[in-house]
Every structure is written in structure tokens, then in C-alpha cells.
Chains A and B, each alone.
Chain A
Amino acid sequence: SQTIHQWPATLVQPVGSPLSLECTVEGTSNPNLYWYRQAAGRGLQLLFYSVGIGQISSEVPQNLSASRPQDRQFILSSKKLLLSDSGFYLCAWWQSYGYTFGSGTRLTVV
């Protein structure tokens, strides 16, 4: 079956610490993958998308980076977190009928 996994579900990190969020999909090959951030429980901001291994497009220049080391793995990273990086991070996978979203990671930077 086709599924998308995202972890961790919640994360509390101090300012200046590194970040690594992971997203993996199962049951497909060469998926289009996306990272979104949702602030204050409302609008979605597209951060990065990837159409293949090693291919990353950045939509918004900021303190974050993304990597696609394997076909079905998409990682969101930061070397040094800022308070403004707090938010709800969503991974998504484009399928024929639309997006399938992961369950999200609630990141709180303290």
C-alpha cells in the first residue's frame, strides 16, 4: 500500500541547535515530495520540493535546507534553529488525485 511517514510528531529544541525532520513514502517510486510549514494553525507555506534524488527546489530563502538522499526519503534540516522556525511542518507527496500529507511535526524552538 502507498503510505507516507513523518517523524517525530513533536519536537522541542533550543535556539541554535540543529534540526532534522524525516519523511518517507512507501509503495511508489520517484514521487514528487514537498515540505510545507504552517504557522499559527492557518496558511501553508511551501518551503521545498523535490522531483527526484538530489533535486531540491527552494521556494523561500531562510534558515532551513532540504535533501533527498534516496528516492523515497525527504529530509528537512537546519544547522542552527531560530525562534521563528517554530511551527507545524508537513511533508506531502503528489499523487494522481492530489496531495497526500504526512501527519506533521510540531516544532517548538525555545
Chain B
Amino acid sequence: AQSVAQPEDQVNVAEGNPLTVKCTYSVSGNPYLFWYVQYPNRGLQFLLKYITGDNLVKGSYGFEAEFNKSQTSFHLKKPSALVSDSALYFCAVRGPSGGSYIPTFGRGTSLIVHP
């Protein structure tokens, strides 16, 4: 079975400071990993994904994530936070096999960027 943990319900950071939103996963085989962002009363928007290749993945809005196989982590990062980055962030993992393509989502981390 696959699982995702987002250990922080909420992350607070000052505008201009770097931010990290943590994600660890468990899956059989090589993982497919994703980050999504959700603004209030909206659907989830794709930020970035890791399937293979470079461990550092760059995505939308200046976000990046680092895949660490030994630590089974895929933390989301941004060098300089903006107030507009405040939103709910979801990490998701999927195993490499095909079929119904059902990822498992974490419970979400609320990012609050203070002016």
C-alpha cells in the first residue's frame, strides 16, 4: 500500500523568507510524486512532479521540490515566499504500475505567509 505524510498542518513564514513544506512517502517501487496547491473554494492546481531524472524538480510560481530516495521525502521549497503563496498544499504519491492511476494524497499543509 502507498501512503503520504505531511507532518505539519500549518507552516508560517514571513514574506521574503525561504519556505519548506514537508512530505514523506511510502510506496512499492519507484515513486511518482506530485505537489498541488489549492486556493480557497477552488480546485487543486498542479505545481510539479517527479517521475525520474534530476532529484531537484522545478515547477510553477517559483516552487521546487527535492526528491530524496534514502529519506523517502519530497519536500516543497521556495527561496523567497510571497503573501500570495498562502494556500493549502497537497503532496501525492503513486506507484509505478499502471491501471487506474490512483495517487494517494496527504492531508494537506496550510501555508501562511505574513507580510
Q: Which residues of A contact B (CB under 8 A)?
A: 6, 32, 34, 41-44, 46, 49, 51, 57, 88, 90, 92, 94, 97-104, 106
Answer whether residue B53 sits at the interface, using C-beta atoms and an 8 A cutoff: no
Residue among A44, A49, A104, A106 facing the most chain B CB atoms (10 A cut-off) = A44
Q: What is the distance, in angstroms, from B95's C-beta to the closest C-beta of chain A? A: 14
Q: Are A43 and B105 in contact (CB under 8 A)?
A: yes
- Bound-state CA distance A98–B36 (Å) is 10
- Nearest opposing residue in chain B for A32, CB measure: B101
Q: How many B residues have CB within 8 A of the partner chain?
A: 22
Q: Are A90 and B44 in contact (CB under 8 A)?
A: yes
Q: Inside 8 A of B107's CB, which chain A residues have their CB?
A: 42-43
Q: Inside 8 A of B41's CB, which chain A residues have their CB?
A: 88, 104, 106
Our pick among A99, A100, A106 for the contact of B103 (Cβ within 8 Å) is: A99
Interface of A is mostly: strand
Q: What is the distance, in angstroms, from A21's C-beta to the closest C-beta of chain B? A: 13
Q: Inside 8 A of B105's CB, which chain A residues have their CB?
A: 43-44
Residues 70 to 99 of chain B near chain A (Cβ within 8 Å):
88, 90, 92
Q: Other CB < 8 Å A-B pairs besides A42-B108, A44-B90, 9 of them?
A: A43-B107, A44-B105, A46-B102, A97-B49, A98-B46, A98-B92, A98-B103, A99-B36, A101-B43
Answer whether residue B28 sits at the interface, using C-beta atoms and an 8 A cutoff: no
Our pick among B40, B43, B88 for the contact of A102 (Cβ within 8 Å) is: B43
Q: What is the distance, in angstroms, from A68's C-beta to the closest C-beta of chain B? A: 14
Q: 26 A-B Cβ contacts within 8 A?
A: A6-B43, A32-B100, A34-B102, A41-B88, A42-B108, A43-B105, A43-B106, A43-B107, A44-B90, A46-B102, A51-B100, A97-B46, A97-B49, A98-B32, A98-B34, A98-B46, A98-B49, A98-B103, A99-B36, A99-B103, A100-B46, A101-B44, A101-B45, A102-B43, A104-B41, A104-B42
